[in-house]
């Protein structure tokens, strides 16, 4: 099932109002976002970085952690009146204009040192 950003924002809002009672306040959700990003980072640093998993680590699910990050981010967008679809489109346009050739001519990207 594919879902648009607009649909995701509506789905989260419906879930909050049906199951979540109400949105946590913005500061609480900011803290939750940082927590979820940390959990995602833990998996990435162990799977792709130089750290290893501990025996006590449960089966890590990177997709689930990314979805947790997305859920809380959408909560914050809904609470603050941000249309993420519109914001994302504007952001891509900004990056395209600003970085039109910047990365193409970056020698560090052509010959990464290891």
Residue ranges of the domains in the chain? Answer: 5-84
For residue 74, count CB atoms less than 10 angstroms from its CB and return exposed for 0-12, middle for 13-18, buried for 19 or more: buried
The CATH fold of domain 5-84: Helix Hairpins (1.10.287)
**pLDDT at residue 4, as a whole number:** 97
Structure-model confidence comparison of residues 108 and 111, the more confident one: 108
Average pLDDT for 56-80: 95
Q: What whole-number distance in Å separates Cα of residue 88 and Cα of residue 21?
A: 28
Span 10-65, pLDDT tens digits:
999 999 999 999 999 999 999 999 999 999 999 999 999 999 998 888 789 999 99
Average pLDDT of the chain?
A: 94
**pLDDT at residue 113, as a whole number:** 60
- Whole-prediction pTM value? 0.88
């Amino acid at each position: 099932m594919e879902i648009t950003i607009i649909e995701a924002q509506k789905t989260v809002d419906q879930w909050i109002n049906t199951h979540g009672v109400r949105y946590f306040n913005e500061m609480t959700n900011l803290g939750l976002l940082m927590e979820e990003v940390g959990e995602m980072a833990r998996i990435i640093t162990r799977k792709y970085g130089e750290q290893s998993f501990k025996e006590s680590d449960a089966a890590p699910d990177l997709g689930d952690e990314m979805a947790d990050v997305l859920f809380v981010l959408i909560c914050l967008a809904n609470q603050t009146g941000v249309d993420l679809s519109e914001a994302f489109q504007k952001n891509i346009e900004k990056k395209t204009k600003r970085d039109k050739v910047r990365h193409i001519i970056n020698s560090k990207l052509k010959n990464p040192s290891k």
